[in-house]
Structure 1
């Protein structure tokens, strides 16, 4: 069997595409609509630095806010890297508003 010859050209994932992936991941973790989350990515010495600004939703069935933020950071670091193939150097998460969903009254 012979190996296939490499195909000329290159593959580029734009910053906008990366931002959309990270935005969807962040919104999912924080329990908000995708359009509510904002993400900016920047080059950090050949790696990606992501800044997330978003509201969050908490309630009796969600993790505490700090755990939710750390879960969001971890999701972007792990899943963002897996989906985009990019090496991510850091993720910053800023919460702009918190909506609390009340628990069921007994």
Structure 2
């Protein structure tokens, strides 16, 4: 028979752990290696404040001409919102602010068809 009474104690998630979560989420959302992403965690009125710096990954200019135009600003805003939502869900904390800065551009050339 199992006892269903709660086990006494508490769980604490450090700022370092939250930073690692934010880094992983940002890398996934932006499509870049986690080693290229820098995050800083702060507090803004009891909510997480994230500062993320990473390269911007984009397709080649030739490929962009064939697809409907989406500005870099629109893509960045969408990524910023997704980072906030995913970090909030994983960390069970409210995210009050996400500052997203791009420090480089990585241009993906389309693969060759054989």
Task: Return the TM-score normalized by structure 1.
Answer: 0.82
Larger Cα-atom Rg: 2
Number of the residue aligned with 1:73: 80
- 5+ long unaligned stretches in structure 2: none
Task: Point out the more displaced range, 96-105 or 24-33.
Answer: 96-105
Task: Return the TM-score normalized by structure 2.
Answer: 0.77
Do 2:29 and 2:83's aligned partners in 1 also have CA atoms closer than 8 Å? no
Q: How many residues align?
A: 103
Question: RMSD in angstroms over aligned alpha carbons?
Answer: 2.4
Query: 1:39-87: CA deviations, max 9, x gaps?
Result: 1101212111000011121004795422331122112211111111011
Q: Write out aligned runs for 1:19-34 (5 A).
A: 19-34=19-34
Number of the residue aligned with 1:88: 95
Do 1:29 and 1:71's aligned partners in 2 also have CA atoms closer than 8 Å? no
- 5+ long unaligned stretches in structure 1: none
1:90 Cα shift? 0.5
Secondary structure in structure 2 of the residue aligned to 1:7: coil
